[in-house]
Amino acid sequence: MRIHIVSIFPEIFKGFIDTSIIHKAVCNKKIELNFYNPRYFCYDKHKQIDDEIYGGGSGMLLKAKPVIDCTMDIINSIKTQNFKIIYFSPSKNIFDQENAIRFKNFEDLILVCGRYEGIDYRFEKYFMDNYPQKFEKLSLGKFILMGGEVASMAFIEATTRLKEGVLGQQDSLQEESYTPHKQMQNIEYPQYTRPQNVYGYNVPDELLSGNHSMIKKRREDNERSI
């Protein structure tokens, strides 16, 4: 899986890609992360990427053309048609585990990060008109972020962890919250580790019994619905 990230602040991702499982996945060539700054597609003297909003309004807006040109440059470099363009912005389409499962099967994912007041609407319109089956607008929920970078990191973690070889133990994907065969309505049962007693709270006896059927039943009984 190749992930192409369009952002005017790619340095935000440095700690994210240099640590933990994502770093290992990149080193082991399970995923590939590429960064593109649309500022380099601004051809004026000052490479101005944002401007004031027509009709008035507070804040600045990213220009449409540099973001379109940057995204098109990525599309033209991709060797397959198995790709998606994802724009993180307030939307009725909320990213969830079901989406993560769907997106893990794409060879190339283009993640477009807005900033400030977002991106000039003509960016959206261009890709909705020219790539209607490839373009999706997603939100993490009903709250506002400063930009799409944090949303992109959440998307990358949720999606790439499902790829074979990314997690050390693939078995951990078999029993977890929000599984399709339970209609995405389940939350995984409580889990415990050493020591057996923490401030007077003990590990349940069933989990210490070694009786697998008893353990299985307790976990099933304690799985929660949303």
Of 203, 200, 197, 204, nearest to 218 (Cα)? 204
77-89 pLDDT, tens per residue?
A: 998 999 999 999 9
Of 13, 64, 67, nearest to 35 (Cα)? 13
Per-residue burial over 33-47, b if 16 or more Cβ lie within 10 Å, else e, is: beebbbbebbeeeee
Are 49 and 117 found together in one domain?
yes
- Looking at residue 60, the DSSP 8-state letter turns out to be -
Handedness of CA 191, 196, 199, 202 (dihedral sign): positive
Query: What is the domain range of residue 39?
Result: 2-170
Are 105 and 140 found together in one domain?
yes
User: Based on the structure, what is the number of domains in the chain?
Assistant: 2
153-172 pLDDT, tens per residue?
A: 999 999 999 999 998 766 66
Start-end of H helices in the chain: 14-18, 20-27, 64-77, 97-103, 121-130, 149-160, 205-208, 212-222
State whether residue 5 is helix, strand or coil.
strand
- Tokens 């649309």: give the residue: 38
Are 77 and 187 found together in one domain?
no
- The CATH number of residue 207's host domain is 1.10.1270.20
Distances (CA, A) of 188 to 38, 101, 102: 41, 17, 21
Alpha-carbon distance of 3 to 129, in angstroms, equals 23
Handedness of CA 128, 131, 132, 135 (dihedral sign): negative
Are 160 and 200 found together in one domain?
no
Are 126 and 220 found together in one domain?
no
Are 164 and 179 found together in one domain?
no
What pLDDT shows up at residue 181? Answer: 74
Q: What percent of the chain has pLDDT over 70?
A: 97
Are 182 and 135 found together in one domain?
no
Are 203 and 139 found together in one domain?
no
CB atoms within 10 A of CB 101: 16
- The CATH number of residue 94's host domain is 3.40.1280.10
97-116 pLDDT, tens per residue?
A: 999 999 999 999 999 999 99
What pLDDT shows up at residue 225? Answer: 87
Mean pLDDT over 20-34 rounds to 94
Alpha-carbon distance of 71 to 50, in angstroms, equals 17
Q: Which amino acid is at 102?
A: R
Of 85, 126, 76, 131, nearest to 106 (Cα)? 85
Are 151 and 200 found together in one domain?
no
